[in-house]
Amino acid sequence: MSSIWQIFKPAKHQSELEDPQIIKDQYKYWRWRIFYSMYIGYAFYYFTRKSFTFAMPTMMSNLGFDESQLGFLGTVMSLTYGVSKFTSGVLADRSNPRLFMSIGLFITGLMNICFGLSSTLTLFALFWGLNGWFQGWGWPPCARLLTHWYSQKERGTWWGGWNTSHNVGGFIIAFLAAYCAQIWGWRAAMYAPGIICIIMSFFLYNRLRDTPQSLGLPQIEKFNNDWASGKPKKDRELTIRQILVEYVLKNKYIWILAVAYFFIYIIRQSVNDWTTLYLVKNKGYSIFGAAATVSWFEIGGALGAFIAGWSSDKIYRGRRGPINILFTMGALLFTMIFYMIPAGQGFLDSLLLFAIGFSIFGPQMLIGVTAAELSHKKAGASSTGFIGCFAYLGSAFAGYPMGLIIRDYGWNQYFIFLGLAAAIAAIILIPLWSIKSNPKLS
């Protein structure tokens, strides 16, 4: 097994270039190339992750599934994805993101096609669980690239810009999957994204590279003269034990962020997974109309993630805590207002979903940035993967348990749970209001 894993090993460092102008030009070229490549790649990961959401109403009518069964599949995906995000994070800190991310995208596309070929709950759970596992190969390589190519004083803005890939992918797949499901049936809503992602995996392999040092460039902190502790540090590799024990499991800040992330993802995933069904069954929307309305959640999320990152850089000078708390409180407010809007208010439904997306994708993005910055640079993927594991436990709660709540107690209790989740997350994040870096790493 270890010999197989050798193909994923990090690219070797090259002799550092000496000409300052060549270094500047190369950094400019590669930073943009790395950025647009992982942006596009992660957007397509969302094609295979969210296609099921928009196939759900048609699957219910064609296969006779109820909310708890569909929620069970969502929980399976979330659990396998959450575990994979952590284990893949540890491995990705010691791997080449070029191979890691492109192979993961190829396999998720294949799993989508296998799901579309299936007809029983057992096979659905198998292929959707495997899809979740390889979905976990998308995020950690991006965390590694974002911490190696962009320094702290600018990272919130770059990370916030990259994070909009979630929303672009979620926005496009809403229309693609809903159109396929409405015209050709739910299976087409799984086939089309799967085929597209297999094709795009080759694009990703072609475009991505590993760290700046693998291209003969100095580390980003040296290039930008931006050292988190205020003084230069030698860029050295860490053992897996050092990464996991010293910089993740013994790091109190990571644990605070992980628990808060659990509640943030209950909201994010619940709105993502259940709003289409809620609008169809409770407000009389068509499948396509509901998908179009829910797409405003992604549009708001794209803007919210970027504004959150930019404002944490420019207004709070690298402190992420204030933005995390303020945006979480916004999510609480707008979710409760959305619940109170009566049927027949399409414009208000869209506006409030935009506002919920704007609010929830701020902490969804910045908590990940915070985890990377309050850990060691070489443990960025592991730290974000660890909190991501907790996030997808929250996402799992948004699946089967939330489906049971909706089925047995109704939508009122569903919205009460979302409000409680937002309030608890905001309270948990309060101790990090003024924290910018981990004093133990200074």
Phi-psi region of 211 (alpha: psi -120 to 50; beta: other; left: phi over 0): beta
- Written as six digits, the tokens of 405 are 């709540």
Q: Is the pLDDT reported for residue 1 higher than 50? A: no
Helix, strand, coil proportions of the chain in percent (round to 5)? Answer: 80, 0, 20
Sequence spans of domains, the chain: 20-211+240-441
Which residue, among 73, 242, 232, 45, has the nearest Cα to 134 in the 3D structure?
A: 45
What percent of the chain shows pLDDT beyond 70? 94
pLDDT in tens, 206-222: 999 999 999 999 998 88
User: What residue type is 395 in one-letter code?
Assistant: S
Q: Over the stretch 369-410, which tens digit does the pLDDT of each residue have?
A: 888 888 876 777 788 888 888 988 888 888 878 888 888 888
pLDDT per position as a tens digit, 271-292? 988 898 899 888 888 878 888 8
Instruction: Express each pLDDT in 30-48 by its tens digit.
Output: 999 999 999 999 999 988 9
Residue 421 has pLDDT above 90, yes or no: yes
Highest mean pLDDT out of 64-78, 137-151, 162-176, 379-393: 137-151
- Specify burial of residue 437 (Cβ count, 10 A radius: 0-12, 13-18, 19+): middle
Nearest residue to 138 via CA among 170, 99, 174: 99
Q: Residue 384, CB half-sphere, CA atoms under 13 Å: how many?
A: 29
Q: What is the largest CA-CA distance in the chain?
A: 68
What mean pLDDT is predicted for residues 136-147? Answer: 89
Is the confidence at residue 67, as pLDDT, over 80? no
Alpha carbon 274 to chain centroid, angstroms: 18
pTM recorded for the entire structure: 0.75
Query: Can you tell me the mean pLDDT for 13-31?
Result: 93
In order of 8, 92, 379, the CA distances from 240 in angstroms are 15, 11, 9
Q: Which of 20-29, 40-49, 147-156 has the lowest mean pLDDT?
A: 147-156
Give 177-210 pLDDT, tens digit per residue: 888 888 898 899 999 999 999 999 999 999 999 9
* Token output for 250: 């013994």
What is the per-residue pLDDT across 106-116, written as a single tens digit (0 to 9) for each? Answer: 999 999 999 99
Asked whether the CA dihedral 74, 80, 81, 82 is positive or negative, the reply is positive
Helix segments in 118-151, DSSP class H: 121-135, 139-149
Query: Which pLDDT score is estimated for 63?
Result: 83
Q: Region 321-331: what's the mean pLDDT? A: 94
What's the confidence (pLDDT) of residue 439? 60
pLDDT at 218: 93
Mean predicted lDDT score pLDDT of the chain:
87
pLDDT at 6 over 80: no
pLDDT at residue 233 greater than cutoff 60:
no
Residue 275 CA to residue 296 CA, distance in Å, equals 12
Contact status, residue 107 vs residue 134, Cβ threshold 8 Å: yes
20-211+240-441: CATH superfamily: MFS general substrate transporter like domains (1.20.1250.20)
